[in-house]
Amino acid sequence: MPPTADERQLLDEVRDLLAATVEDLTVEEIGPDSSLQDDLGVDSLARLELVAAIEDRWQIEVPQEQAERLTTVRQIAAHLAEAVAAPTGGTA
Protein backbone atom coordinates (compact mmCIF):
# COMPACT_ATOMS: atom_id res chain seq x y z
CA MET A 1 0.00 0.00 0.00
CA PRO A 2 1.51 3.37 -0.99
CA PRO A 3 2.12 5.93 1.76
CA THR A 4 -0.46 8.63 2.38
CA ALA A 5 0.45 12.29 1.87
CA ASP A 6 0.99 12.67 5.62
CA GLU A 7 3.24 9.60 5.75
CA ARG A 8 5.20 10.85 2.74
CA GLN A 9 5.64 14.25 4.40
CA LEU A 10 6.87 12.65 7.63
CA LEU A 11 9.30 10.45 5.69
CA ASP A 12 10.62 13.51 3.86
CA GLU A 13 11.00 15.44 7.11
CA VAL A 14 12.88 12.54 8.72
CA ARG A 15 15.13 12.27 5.66
CA ASP A 16 15.84 16.02 5.78
CA LEU A 17 16.59 15.85 9.50
CA LEU A 18 18.90 12.87 9.03
CA ALA A 19 20.83 14.66 6.28
CA ALA A 20 21.14 17.78 8.45
CA THR A 21 22.19 15.80 11.53
CA VAL A 22 24.52 13.12 10.17
CA GLU A 23 27.76 14.29 8.60
CA ASP A 24 28.42 13.34 4.96
CA LEU A 25 24.85 12.17 4.35
CA THR A 26 22.57 13.64 1.68
CA VAL A 27 18.80 13.37 1.34
CA GLU A 28 19.27 11.53 -1.96
CA GLU A 29 21.12 8.71 -0.17
CA ILE A 30 18.32 8.16 2.34
CA GLY A 31 15.50 5.84 1.30
CA PRO A 32 12.39 5.02 3.34
CA ASP A 33 13.68 1.54 4.13
CA SER A 34 17.32 2.53 4.65
CA SER A 35 18.84 0.96 7.74
CA LEU A 36 20.38 3.67 9.89
CA GLN A 37 23.42 1.58 10.73
CA ASP A 38 23.86 -0.78 7.80
CA ASP A 39 22.89 1.47 4.87
CA LEU A 40 23.61 4.95 6.20
CA GLY A 41 26.50 4.31 8.58
CA VAL A 42 24.84 6.03 11.55
CA ASP A 43 26.96 5.26 14.61
CA SER A 44 25.88 5.47 18.25
CA LEU A 45 26.90 9.13 18.62
CA ALA A 46 25.07 10.14 15.43
CA ARG A 47 22.02 8.19 16.64
CA LEU A 48 22.01 10.17 19.90
CA GLU A 49 22.23 13.41 17.93
CA LEU A 50 19.40 12.27 15.67
CA VAL A 51 17.15 11.36 18.62
CA ALA A 52 17.87 14.76 20.21
CA ALA A 53 17.01 16.49 16.92
CA ILE A 54 13.77 14.48 16.63
CA GLU A 55 12.80 15.34 20.21
CA ASP A 56 13.50 19.02 19.57
CA ARG A 57 11.75 19.16 16.18
CA TRP A 58 8.57 17.34 17.24
CA GLN A 59 8.59 18.28 20.94
CA ILE A 60 8.33 14.66 22.06
CA GLU A 61 10.41 12.38 24.24
CA VAL A 62 11.87 9.23 22.73
CA PRO A 63 12.92 6.76 25.45
CA GLN A 64 16.29 5.11 24.83
CA GLU A 65 14.75 1.63 24.58
CA GLN A 66 12.36 2.87 21.90
CA ALA A 67 15.10 4.73 20.03
CA GLU A 68 17.17 1.54 19.86
CA ARG A 69 14.28 -0.31 18.17
CA LEU A 70 13.93 2.34 15.45
CA THR A 71 16.37 1.02 12.90
CA THR A 72 14.98 2.32 9.57
CA VAL A 73 13.75 5.67 8.31
CA ARG A 74 10.24 4.22 7.86
CA GLN A 75 10.16 2.97 11.49
CA ILE A 76 11.14 6.43 12.74
CA ALA A 77 8.39 8.05 10.65
CA ALA A 78 5.82 5.50 11.88
CA HIS A 79 6.85 6.14 15.49
CA LEU A 80 6.53 9.89 14.95
CA ALA A 81 3.09 9.48 13.38
CA GLU A 82 1.93 7.67 16.52
CA ALA A 83 3.75 9.90 19.00
CA VAL A 84 2.62 13.17 17.45
CA ALA A 85 -0.99 12.00 17.13
CA ALA A 86 -1.17 10.63 20.69
CA PRO A 87 -2.06 12.97 23.53
CA THR A 88 0.92 13.62 25.79
CA GLY A 89 -0.90 13.08 29.08
CA GLY A 90 -2.91 15.17 31.47
CA THR A 91 -6.26 16.82 31.02
CA ALA A 92 -6.79 20.20 29.45
Give helix 5-21 / helix 73-85 axis angle, nearest 10°: 120
CATH number at residue 21: 1.10.1200.10
Q: What is the pTM of this model?
A: 0.86
In a domain? residue 92:
no
In a domain, 43, yes or no: yes
Q: Indicate whether 91 belongs to any domain.
A: no
- The answer to the question of residue 90 being in a domain is no
Structural domain boundaries, residue 71: 3-83
**Cα 80 from Cα 7, distance rounded (Å):** 10
Q: Are 49 and 88 in contact (CB under 8 A)?
A: no
State how many domains the chain has: 1
3-state helix, strand, coil split of the chain in percent (to 5) is 60, 0, 40
Which tens digits make up the pLDDT trace of 48-86?
999 999 999 999 999 999 999 999 999 999 999 998 876
Q: Is residue 89 part of a domain?
A: no
If pLDDT is split at 50, 70 and 90, which confidence band does 45 have? Answer: very high
